[in-house]
Structure 1
Amino acid sequence: MVNRDAEALDDPVGASLRGHHARLARRYGRAAGYLPDVATFCAVPADPGPAEWADLARLLGRGAFADMFSCPAVPPPDWEPVFTLEGRRMTWSGDRSAPPRPETGAQVLELGPESVPEMLGLVELTRPGPFRPRTPELGTYLGIRDNGRLVAMAGERLRPPGWTEISAVCTAPEARGRGHAVRLIDALVARVLERGERPFLHVAEANTGAIALYERTGFTSREHVTFRGFRTP
């Protein structure tokens, strides 16, 4: 496969906001970000100068949280650091070591707006990463229920051209070890490939268990990334 869209992964937030997620964006000058109840991520152009950082500060407001995701640029010194997290970006290669889960047992279901309260509850319990009330509008979210209760889910997040990010992979503690995460990842990968796009994802470097899971399901490490958040002056 010719990876003609590889450069889109260098700025996955900005590329998503300019494309598939433009309807979910807010902008000021050359800065952009998701609507607050959709996601915390924001973006500035490559090699931003004082004017671009000023645009972002005006967009977010005074003392606001600026989640720069994997942006390598660092804002001016008067922006207060909030967090730094080392991670990696992984892309799907199809070279998996885990056998596909059989089509028996728990059924994979598409989650609609009526499931959002349960999704928020599962996120609160498992802490897979940032998730807001309108995050499910970013793409398709799939789940698995046990006796009617949502016990596992995963979905689509960033959508730079040619790619779809798999995110929010989480399973309630009492439902782990049953292959739910593998089943959900497989289902999402199939949907992304059907669109002619390629799956990718992000994971914290310290989360070795998740990295091993993703490797078993066909993902390989593409590059190291650093996630950063700041507070505007």
Structure 2
Amino acid sequence: MTRDNLDSGRPHPLDNSVHSALTGPHAHFALRRGNVLRYPSDVSPFMALPDSPDDADWADVAALAGPGGVAGLTGRTVEPPDGWEVVTRAALLQLVDDGVAAAPDEEAVRLTSADVPEMLALAERTKPGPFLPRTIEMGAYLGIRHSGRLVAMAGERLRLPGWTEISGVCTDAGWRGRGLGTRLVLAVAAGIRERGERPFLHVLASNTNAVRLYESLGFRLHRTTTLVLTRPPAEPPSR
């Protein structure tokens, strides 16, 4: 699989993936204020900033976050202004498909809005990252059930031109070590490939076990970025 379009040094949709999604395949979700875009708060906490945000852009982030709200931001250098609370700051690895053995899974079922209560409960128990009441609308989610109970899931989050992110990968504690998460990742990747797109994903750099697993499946590191969850001051600056 060629890497030329990724490693040429030219701008690429993955460089600002949230912005690429909200101005591309996920434009129907986009809420805009000035140069700042965000997903609805019950879909995803992520916002997209310009590459070099100014004071007006940060005022727009505050307005879109709302009183007490948290903005999810990613980028090589994300530094909120003085007075903003940094709830979380973490190194984030962006991994891309570099020969993943994508394959459907006979046991994986497509999850629907009727499954959201169980999905929310599973995400609450396993903490795979932000999963909200309307996150399922971002793409296809697959699950594995045993005795009728949802025990593992994975799905699609950011959709960019030519690319779709795999996310929400989680397995209930009692079912770990059986390869369910791996099977679901490969099944979701197969669905992405069927559309002629390429899978990618984000993982915390500190989650070394997950990084090793994804690399063993055929993902490779594309770039290191920063995840920042930040809360604006109680009284944000006026625009």
What is the TM-score with the length of structure 1 in the denominator?
0.91
Gapped runs of 5+ residues in structure 1? none
> Deviation at 1:89?
0.8
Q: Which residue of 2 aligns with 1:109?
A: 109
Asked whether the equivalents of residues 90 and 227 of structure 2 are also in contact (C-alpha less than 8 Å), the reply is: yes
Aligned to 2:50: 45
Task: Provide the residue aligned with 1:214 in structure 2.
Answer: 214
Tell me the equivalent position of 2:126: 126
Q: CA 1:95/1:44 → structure 2, altered by over 3 Å: closer, same or farther? A: closer
Aligned with 1:19 (options 16, 19, 24): 24
| Aligned-pair identity (%) | 47
**Pairwise CA distance, 1:87:** 2.1
Over the residues paired in the alignment, what is the CA RMSD in angstroms?
2.0
Q: Quick one: distance in 1 between partners of 2:131 and 2:156?
A: 12
Structure 2 unaligned residues grouped into runs of 5+: 234-239
1:19 CA drift (Å): 1.3
Contact 1:101-1:179 within 8 A present in 2 as well: no
**Within-5 A mapping of 1:68-217:** 68-70=73-75, 72-94=77-99, 107-217=107-217
- CA distance in structure 1 between the partners assigned to 2:23 and 2:16 by the alignment: 11
Match of 1:3 in 2: 5
How many angstroms does 1:6 deviate by? Answer: 6.5
Q: Take 1:48 and 1:95, find their aligned partners in 2: how far apart are those partners? A: 36
Could you tell me how far apart the structure 2 residues matched to 1:84 and 1:130 are? 15
Give the SS at the match of 2:188. Answer: helix
Structure 1 residue 218: Cα displacement: 1.1
Provide Cα deviations, 1:42-87, integer angstroms capped at 9, x if missing partner.
1111111112112222222244211113363323212222211112
Q: Which runs of 4+ in 1 moved over 4 A?
A: 100-103
Q: Which amino acid aligns with 2:20?
A: A
Q: 1:95 & 1:56 partners in 2: Cα distance?
A: 37
Q: Does the residue aligned with 2:228 lie in a helix, a strand or coil?
A: strand
What CA distance in whole angstroms lies between the structure 2 residues aligned with 1:193 and 1:65? Answer: 33
Q: 1:29 to 1:174 in 2, by over 3 A?
A: same
Match of 2:227 in 1: 227
Amino acid at match of 1:72: T
Give the letter for the 2:120 counterpart: L
Give me the whole-angstrom Cα distance separating, in 1, the residues matched to 2:190 and 2:104.
15
How many aligned positions are there?
A: 228
Go from structure 1 to structure 2 and tell me whether the alpha carbon gap of 1:95 and 1:169 turns closer, same or farther (over 3 Å shift): closer
